[in-house]
Amino acid sequence: MANLPPELQQLATHMDAQPAHVQVIFQYCLYLMMVQAGKVELIETTPSDSGPLCTFRTVAGDMFTLVKPQIRPEQEAALIEQLREILDGG
């Protein structure tokens, strides 16, 4: 992951050190942060055999889907706060 800003390199290193299922949770929470920042729009959430399937669209118009991980709202909020701290250089 060359040429990343230091805060993104720190985030990438932190995420890479996590087990795969935790990486998916981090990724989901990062997308939620991007929704809050207006960089990504959550288009819809539909049921699937794997769990709720969230469809996102970037400001550039790219669309992608991600299965919503099974975490409690307070865990989601805590993880988003942790991600903010990492991205803020804390």
> In this structure, what CATH number is given to the domain that contains residue 24?
3.30.920
pTM listed for this prediction: 0.78
For residue 1, is it within any domain?
no
Task: With respect to residue 55, please indicate whether it lies within any of the assigned structural domains.
Answer: yes
Give the pLDDT score at 57.
95
According to the model, what pLDDT value does residue 15 have?
80
d(CA 19, CA 63) in angstroms, rounded, equals 26
The structure tokens listed for 12 are 């990438």
| 38 belongs to a structural domain | yes
Tell whether the model's pLDDT for residue 21 goes beyond 80.
yes
Q: Give the pLDDT band (50/70/90) at residue 1.
A: very low
Total of domains in the chain: 1
- Is residue 38 pLDDT above 70, yes or no? yes
Task: Give the pLDDT band (50/70/90) at residue 5.
Answer: low
Domain that holds residue 58: 6-87
Q: Report the 3 state secondary structure along 5-40.
A: CHHHHHHHHHHHCCCHHHHHHHHHHHHHHHHHCCCE
